[in-house]
Amino acid sequence: MTSTQGPTGTTTTPTSATTTDRGVRRLISLVVGITAVIALMLLAFAAPAINSGANDLPLAVSGPGPAVTQVTGALSSNRPGAFDVTTYPTAADAARAIGDRDAIGGIAVAPTGITIQTAAGAGAPYAPLLRGIGTQLAASGQNVTYQEVAPLTIDDPTGAGLTALGLPLIFGGLASAAALVLAYRGAVATRALTALALSVLAGFTVTAILQFGFGSFDGSYWLTATAVSAGIAAISLTVLGLGLLLGPAGIGLGAVLMLFVANPLSGMATGPAWLPQPWGQIGQYLPLGAAGTTIRSAAYFDGNGDTTAWIVLGCWALAGLLLALLASRRTATTALASTDEPGLRYA
């Protein structure tokens, strides 16, 4: 530092060494900060993937009592901890439970043999896992047949279309919210209605591309498109509310929440049961995980088993609207205070 005497007193001027020190500290902070962000991103995506697997998967086992006991005992011995078994009296009851999304698949025991009941629409890992069990049973001399309860489409046999929806849902919600916060200065109600309109248009467009263009879905177009729209709207309104309340920092907070928390915990490709718990279940209470469940149910399960997910999406959308309303009232209060006469303000 250097000091000079002037008409108004002593003035302190930073030296070049001080300026250099500050620059070095900023560079170090920048390098450390970016490294920390990269490490957190790796943990956010790698930890769920590495620790995912068959743990307490809900499985339906049906048939006569002694046979069911034998099957469940064999599963416990050969794959300890892999399945959470619920027993049913008949194969039809088990298939109904799978269709209602209470189980990822089933094993039905009958006098004529064993039927492996799969639901490819439930997620990528489950059907191959159950077919592997069927192969082992067939190798032991059992008569094994297979029944697909919730098939994927012929044009998209791996479910890639649903898996690919994750980032478009996030981007659609984030981009629309950021544009309405940063580039449009209209009333809060207008912004919220615009976010909803954008969500509906994007949801129905994306679903049309996947269903009619790529053949990824063959369920109800209207129900599936509504589910996609609801997912975009929940993300968009949440980030909109955060952005209006906190400014650009709110948009950044929303982006971190959706990209680095909700995304890896959503189970878009595998379904939540394959993720390490309780993280898979936590992901279902975030917008992307709930959206994935509603879309999967609409596309492959006739809309069954998605009540909680719809409630979650509604709660996130409502929370975003409440944040936007709070921001609107704060802005109105600030504007009113700034136009008050000083004498009246303190009267």
Q: Which two tokens stand for residue 116?
A: 């492996």
Distance from chain centroid for Cα 118: 24
- pLDDT of 41 strictly over 90: no
What's the rounded Cα separation, in Å, for the pair 320 and 313? 11
Query: How does 323-345 read in b/e, with b if 16+ C-beta sit within 10 Å?
Result: bbbebbeeeeeeeeeeeeeeeee
- Sign of the dihedral defined by the CA atoms of residues 165, 166, 171, 174, in that order: positive
Supply the DSSP symbol for 212. I
- Report pLDDT for 20: 78
Crossing angle of the two packed helices 287-300 and 221-246, in degrees rounded to 10: 170
What's the rounded Cα separation, in Å, for the pair 143 and 43? 45
The amino acid at 166: G
What's the rounded Cα separation, in Å, for the pair 149 and 299? 13
* 3-class secondary-structure state, position 333: helix
Using one digit for the tens of pLDDT, what is the confidence trace for 120-169?
A: 999 999 999 999 999 999 998 889 999 999 999 999 999 999 999 999 99
Closest CA to 177 of 284, 325, 320, 332: 320
The more confident residue out of 335 and 126 is 126
Average confidence (pLDDT) over 322-340? 77
The amino acid at 89: P
For residue 71, what are the CA distances in angstroms to 33, 61, 68, 88?
A: 53, 8, 5, 13
Question: Which residues, at least 6 apart from 63, have a Cβ–Cβ distance to it below 8 Å?
Answer: 71, 90, 91, 108, 109, 110
Q: Tokens 């005497």 sit at which residue?
A: 5
Average confidence (pLDDT) over 233-253? 95
Closest CA to 61 of 95, 79, 88: 88
Closest CA to 294 of 238, 220, 240: 220
Which residue blocks in the chain are alpha helix, DSSP H? 16-51, 65-78, 91-99, 126-139, 160-163, 166-182, 188-208, 221-246, 248-256, 279-283, 287-300, 307-339, 342-345
What's the rounded Cα separation, in Å, for the pair 267 and 294? 12
What's the rounded Cα separation, in Å, for the pair 275 and 278? 8
- Report pLDDT for 36: 78
- Report pLDDT for 8: 55
The amino acid at 229: S
CB 75 within 8 A of CB 85: yes
Round to the nearest angstrom and report the end-to-end CA distance of the chain: 48
Provide the whole-model pTM: 0.86
Percent of the chain with pLDDT over 70: 90
Using one digit for the tens of pLDDT, what is the confidence trace for 87-108?
A: 999 999 999 999 999 999 999 9
Using one digit for the tens of pLDDT, what is the confidence trace for 161-215?
A: 999 999 999 999 999 999 999 998 888 999 999 999 999 999 999 999 999 999 9
